[in-house]
Homo-oligomer: A and B are copies of this chain.
């Protein structure tokens, strides 16, 4: 029974969320688009494996986030011999455009091309996971450059979530979690003028929220923003 690793690598481009896809040259499912990945080797765990395989497509240093998504194991998910897949979610900041082989391209997740095997459902799962985690973790910073304006961050959140978010709110929420640190610099205003935006960076001093907030907290532990995220 084979085991493969696959990754839905997402990034924000303009106002849309994109996923990195790879056009299959060979049968089965030739000319359909698939997720990067490949067979798990005997001497590596799944995370090492996906990082190794992604390195062929993008510079791994540019991957700002990698996490396990789920196992896809329907017996007939690929034709031929049985293959179980461990799927990952990967994120790339919006300021880098990694060199990539000619057979890979970024596609908007809203209108995916003809996808191979069950890869469309993996992309869906990745979108959903990203959307869920955006609000209660700090993975949002994995989508943005090291220095960014609140407007840019808002646009990224909007693209990933699929609905408009308010810059006022976003800034306040993140500030309360001590995640925003002003760099002092400002970004030049756009061609139509406007007040120059202040630049921020992600503050490592902040609350690192990996897991959801506990709604039911230990007694006397203050409020959510007081920092009760486990880890």
Contacts and interface: CB of A to CB of B under 8 A. Distances in A.
A132 B212 contact: yes
A27 interface: no
Interface stretch (A40-48, A144-152, A178-186): A40-48
A74 B43 CA distance: 8
A11 to B, nearest CB: 19
A216 B173 contact: yes
Contact of A230 (B1, B131, B166): B131
Nearest to A88: B71
Given A40-B1, A230-B128, A218 B68 contact: no
Interface string A1-33: 111000000000000000000000000000000
Nearest to A70: B68
A170 B216 contact: yes
Given A40-B84, A46-B71, A71-B86, A166 B128 contact: no
Interface of A: 1-3, 40, 42-47, 68, 70-71, 73-75, 82, 84, 86, 128, 131-136, 157, 161, 163-166, 169-170, 173, 211-219, 230
A170 B217 CA distance: 10
A68 B125 CA distance: 14
A88 to B, nearest CB: 10
A165 B2 CA distance: 46
Contacts of A169: 216
Given A45-B74, A166-B219, A132 B230 contact: yes
B3 A75 contact: no
B40 A216 contact: no
13 contacts: A44-B75, A45-B73, A45-B74, A128-B230, A131-B230, A132-B212, A132-B230, A135-B212, A136-B212, A136-B213, A161-B214, A164-B218, A169-B216
Contacts of A213: 135-136, 212, 215
Nearest to A49: B73
Contacts of A166: 219
Contacts of A73: 40, 45-47, 86
A172 to B, nearest CB: 11
A182 to B, nearest CB: 21
